Structure 1
Amino acid sequence: MNRRGLLYALVMTAAAARLLLQMAALPPYAGLDEVYHVARLAFVRAQGRNPTIFEWSVPPYLFASMAGRSDFSAAFCVVGPKWPEVVHSQAVIVDRPLQARVLKPYLMPNYEAQQPSLYYSLFARLAPLRTPMFELRVWRFLSVLFALIIVAATAFIGERWFGPAGILAGALVVSLPTWLTLVVRASNDAFACALLAIAVVVSASAPRSPYGEAIAWAAALAAKLYTWPVALVLPLFWRQQRAHRDRVSLVMIACALSAALTISDLSTRTRNPLGLFAFDTAAGHAAAIRYGEMLKIWIATLAWTSGQHWDALTPLAIALYLGPILALVVIAQSPS
């Protein structure tokens, strides 16, 4: 094996080990709103369709976990700072075969019905109906596989920009705690990020045929709305590569069709073309949107991902964490 192959093998092996460790260490339904993503997957598996934002779609066994019942596994993403008390007072994992009485009737709406349908429609049936922890591990492991695609794509782009040393960029991604929380949980985030990473790699490679690029970007845009702004890099690639007009036209048409279908899906199920809404947790139903608060959250998220879930780096910690890495990049690029 040459040096390049060895670097890729080391990075991917280390990434797989770290991601699997994170998967095993996460408490039940940890990280952001994992339990709501699992609830949507369970609904799609049972009903064969995606729920609307207004209908009750959370199955009883997951509702019980959110409510903190001791006869079900506690949902860490709901319990939050009270987790030490839960660990001391009850069994953290309660796993038994799922029976009909805990599958229906559905007990509350699921605000993660706001997400595009692609991920849930493709992978809900991947986990057979056995136990709560079995299905959670299956969907988490799927996220780990998608995370490895992100690592490989990052390493490829790093190599393209910085040479063989850039392959190690994949390892840097796995070292970020907020990224691990985002992609290892059962949700559509790892799927969306993986599709986006593939699309960027394809475009950066200046493909001879535009069909793969068109499919990659269409899939990425259909996976999650936060992938849409990244499409702004396409004109930069095309200009640098002097892309043919046919390539540009085909990719733009594919992206437009994907966006239109996604907007249609969200409009039908959420009555909002972007799936945006507020959710009154206490009342258990959708509420009026407070656009000012939503804008503040979006801006804060750019610097402090998932901070409200006690698993993030503060802005100061981000600076301290990335400072040495940026210094090494500058040193590596400076003339000797």
Structure 2
Amino acid sequence: MEWPKRARTADWENGFLTFDKEKQLEVPELTAEIMERLAGYPLAGFHVKGYPVTDELLAPFAGHKSMANFGVEDGALTDACFPVFSAMPKLRILLLTGNARIDGSGLSALQSCKLDLLALDHTGLDDAGLRQAASIPKLSHIWIDHTAVTYEGLLAITGNNYIKPVSHVQFTQEQMEHFFQLQREKAKKPVQLDEQAAEECRRVLSAFFAEMTEWEQYMEQAGFEDAEAAPRLLAIWEKYVSEKPRPGYRPLGLSYSAQGTYNGEQFLDAEQITRNKLYIYTREKAIGFDRRFLMKRVGEGWMIDAVQERLDGWQRTGL
């Protein structure tokens, strides 16, 4: 069996070792001697599929200077393997799919790596391990399907706005979209609250609540057929709402509550979005219903731009 003088990639599967996708040798077992020999090549990529590679067998690759893409699929690796990979200065892709004994407890060894992609699907990766993975500075993608990671564990890493967990079956599309939404929100730079603006917004909202309650009380007596129903409401919109209802866009739909939709609103908090926009958070005191009003600076004053209700996350609704 003649080995090549040089090679850039090596792949082992089903008893055959293939160099550079061309030269193939029959190698039934990956012994320590063979791994030592492979580690002597200036490989950029090495992949093994379906062989019980142990942590000890990887030892010759520690400090490998040219390895960029390394994979052991369905092997017998444990978390003790990570120090070997941490010593590979050019390693960017690490594929460890199917190594069931890996739980992520050793991922702290990769903190100084420039690893970009890490595949840990079909392993024992758990929430604690995922947190360690999220602290690898350059890691952008991690595969987490068929692991012990919970949704609570996934949400715990939303503070990392760089990492993108890859999940097709572990979590639903809606759950992943929610994760990325939270990630985006946490990535936004906090803006210091303009207390004077927040107080002005609360004053505007208080006046809006009062006039809407008065209109709803009027509607309770007059009914929808009253000629003044829509004009009176439009006058309130003109005074307090920045976006006016018009044909084909946000059509005006009349509805009211006999008790008053905004009759029991309590102010909870304020959040500055930009210099000219902020959220005012409220809660309906009787049933604990949460809303947040997006306020927009218009000229010298503030007007209501939109409102969201907290159901399954914040969802936009009508005023």
Question: Shorter-chain TM-score category?
Answer: under 0.3
Give the structure with higher Rg (CA): 2
TM (normalized to structure 2)?
0.20
TM (normalized to structure 1)?
0.19
Greater helix content: 1
